[in-house]
Structure 1
Amino acid sequence: MSLVKSFFNHPYTFWAILSLPAIPMLAGLAANEPGAVGEVLHPSGEFAARFMIIAMMITPLTMLFKGARWPRWLRKRRRHIGVAAFGYAALHTLLYLIDEGAVAFTGAEIANFYIWTGWLAFLIFVPLAITSTDGWIRRLGSRWKNLQRFVYGAAVLTLLHWASLHDWGGVAPTLVHFGPLGALEAYRVWAMVQKRTLKAA
């Protein structure tokens, strides 16, 4: 294996790539200018959604591009991407709490559709992130995959959370981001149905 290939295949290199979007966010927070938290709040949530979407797209991409190496390369790193999604979601949640303060815990705030959908999505993310280690995978066995399927619920809640922001002004960007995932998941379901039909024939 060449030195360049070894460098790009190293887990630390991949983690560094996943951390790149956080650099301008943290730099903005470090500047401590008025409104800095609010400026970083939305990008952190958007990157949480983007990395979640990428992680979910890997399996149907592997099915669609059979024999291609790059989907398999991504598949080996899917857990890294999922943990990165949680990391950005945790940052997004922390910034929201800092920005809103005590208001975040009032009934009027939590009752907002875009708020409780976001909280539920984050709460689903927590056990998925905690059980992403090799030790938990061995401990849970076949139950680990069943647990990971809850990511679909988190995806739907994230879609609703993003779309309902600003009086449903987030619909267009949400569709742009979730559209490719929806198309790939539809292909995945179609491919599985076709496979079962052929086996039954």
Structure 2
Amino acid sequence: MPFTSWRFATFFLLLSPCVWLVYGFFSNNLGANPVETLTHQTGKWAFICLLLSLAITPARQLTGVKKLMLLRRMVGLYAFFYATLHFLVYWVFDQSLSVAYLWEDISDRPYITLGFLGWLFLLPLAITSTQNWRKRLGKRWLTLHKLAYAVGLLALFHYIWLIRADYREVVPYALALCALLGYRLFRWLKTPQRAA
């Protein structure tokens, strides 16, 4: 299959959860608490897309398939897309679009604080994801986009703090994030500058 086809397939595959949620919402097929389902599913897919975007660089380094990097921006933007949907569902349905209620919740509930910080950190990454911004920022672009690591940790602790009971659901996400960050730490420690 040509790589262009892989890009189209990835685009529609990552869009499909959103299509399913929209259809389920308007057909009353999201269970007894559709808002809770929307909130949980958009947050879950934001985390999945973030982990996939973090996995692309190691996959390219381990396989030597450089074209994988052409998927990274799209997958990262999907992480921002689902994180924004997650935030909007919470703000519209739980906070009635009130800035005052939103700020009070962010201030009083730590897991909301972590989630909101994660979304704020994703915002400049989405804005500067284009080639034009990469050229304008130069080496600072790479430094800025390492915020994705912090977003992963914020998302993980947001998730853990939210469920407070049965943590089995979060274990695969935690293991995946630890593996991806651990791989990067290992490579950083193995660079000649570190070894010297």
Larger radius of gyration: 1
2:187 counterpart (184, 191, 199): 191
2:131 counterpart (131, 134, 150): 134
Query: C-alpha displacement at 1:55, in angstroms?
Result: 0.9
Partner of 1:56: 54
1:111 counterpart (108, 120, 131): 108
Partner of 2:12: 16
**TM-score normalised by L of structure 2:** 0.84
- Structure 1 residues 12 and 62, CA gap change in structure 2 (3 angstroms): closer
Structure-2 separation of matches of 1:122 and 1:149? 14
The number of aligned residues is 191
- Structure 1 residues 35 and 172, CA gap change in structure 2 (3 angstroms): closer
**TM-score normalised by L of structure 1:** 0.82
Unaligned runs of 5+ in 2: none
CA RMSD in angstroms, aligned pairs only: 2.5
2:89 counterpart (92, 95, 101): 95
Query: C-alpha displacement at 1:170, in angstroms?
Result: 6.1
Question: In percent, how many aligned pairs have the same letter?
Answer: 28
Structure-2 separation of matches of 1:95 and 1:197? 46
- Structure 1 residues 78 and 105, CA gap change in structure 2 (3 angstroms): same
Asked if 1:80 corresponds to 2:78, the answer is: no
After superposing on structure 2, the runs of 4+ consecutive aligned residues of structure 1 that deviate more than 6 Å are none
- Structure 1 residues 198 and 119, CA gap change in structure 2 (3 angstroms): closer
User: Could you give the per-residue CA deviations for residues 62-116 of structure 1, whole angstroms, max 9, x where no partner exists?
Assistant: 33x244x3xx343221111000000000111110112212484252564111111
- Structure 1 residues 143 and 170, CA gap change in structure 2 (3 angstroms): farther
Relative to structure 2, which stretch is displaced further, 29-38 or 73-82?
A: 29-38
Query: C-alpha displacement at 1:5, in angstroms?
Result: 2.1
Unaligned runs of 5+ in 1: none
